[in-house]
Amino acid sequence: MNLSVEEIAQLVDGEIIGNTTSLIINFNRIEHSGNGDITFFSDESFRKYFEQCGATCVIIQKNENSIPKENQVFIKVENPYFSFIHLVEKLATKEEEQKGIHHTAIINETAKVSPSASIGANCWIGANVVINDDVVLKPNVVIYDNTRIGKGTILHANSVCYQDTEIGENCIIHSGAVIGSDGFGFIEEPDGSYTKIPQIGNVKIGNNVEIGANTTIDRAFVGSTIIGDGVKLDNLVQIGHNVEIGENTAAAAQVGIAGSVKVGRRCRFGGQVGLAGHFEITDDVSLIAQSGVASSILKKGVYGGSPARDRLTYFKNEAVIHNLSQLAKDVAKIKRHLDIE
C-alpha cells in the first residue's frame, strides 16, 4: 500500500484535518503505530494510546475535537472502526492461489475436482468427493470419502473432514480443525466398562461459516450435526454430536456444546461457556464468558453464571459474592454479640 491521505479519505468518505499529501504505507494498531502508518481511535479506553500515538494518519469520530500533532493527520468519519475495516478489506494484500493440483496430492479416481480449485501439497482426497469451483485446500488437508465442499471454501493446512461431510460455499476452516469425528457416545455396562455406540450420521455446514483452529465438530449418531449459515466458531470450540446451531450464531474460544443441544439464531457465547446436553437455546441469547447452562433457555436476553441466570440476577449474585468476606465478618460479629456458638 502506498496511498495519500486524500485518496484514503475518499475511500471512507471522511473529512481531512491536516496535510492531505501525507503518504500511508501500512496498517497498524494504535498503541504500536508510527511514521507511515494508519490506525483508528474509537474506544475511550484507548485514549492514552491515542494521545501518545505516532501514526501518520488516525481515523477518528466526527465529534472528536483533538488537534493532530506535527506531521500527523486525522480523518473524521461516523464510525472509525468500520471505516478502518473497510480500508483493510479494500487495500490489504491478498494471497493469490495457484489453480490446479500439486503433484504430491493423492486423489481417488472417483473424486470430482473443479479445474479452478487449488489442491496443495500432500493433500489426500477420498472416493466420491466433490470439490467445487475456487475451493482451496492448503497443504496436508485430508478429505474422507463422500464429502462435498462448496464453491469458494478454504480449508487451511492440516484440517480434516471425515466421511460424508457437507460444507457450503465461501466457508473458512482453519488449521487443525476436525469436522465429522465420532461423537462421544458410549453405553456403560454393568461391570463399569463401555461399549461404543456407532456414529453413522454426518456434519452439514452452511454457507459463509468460519471455523477456528483446532475446533472439533462431531458427526451425528444418526442424522446430522448442523452448523447454519453465517455461524462463526473461534479456536478450540467443541461441538458435540447432533447439535444444531442456528444462522449467524457466534461462539468464542473454548466453548463446549454437548450432544443434541439446539441453539437458535444470532446467539453469542463468550469464552469457555459450557452447555450440557439435550436442551434448547432460543434465538438471540447471549451467554457471558464461563457461563454454565444445564437446562433450556426459552427467552431471549443476556445470561451469566453457573448455573446461568438472567443478567440482572447474575450481577446481583456477583455483587453478593464480592462482599462475601465482609458479610462473614459481620455475621461473626453478630454471633459474638448474641453469644451464639
Provide the annotated active-site residues: 241
Q: In DSSP terms, which residues pair with 263 in a beta bridge?
A: 245, 281
Exposed/middle/buried for 329, CB within 10 Å: 0-12, 13-18, 19+?
A: exposed
Which three cell numbers, joined as nine digits, stand for 185? 457416545
Q: CA end-to-end span of the chain, whole Å?
A: 75
Of 33, 32, 29, 24, the C-alpha closest to 42 is 29
- The 3-state DSSP class for residue 274 equals strand
Residue written as cell 479456536?
235
* Whole-angstrom distance, CA of residue 167 vs CA of residue 173: 10
Of 224, 227, 294, the C-alpha closest to 267 is 227
Cis peptide bond upstream of 139, omega within 30: no
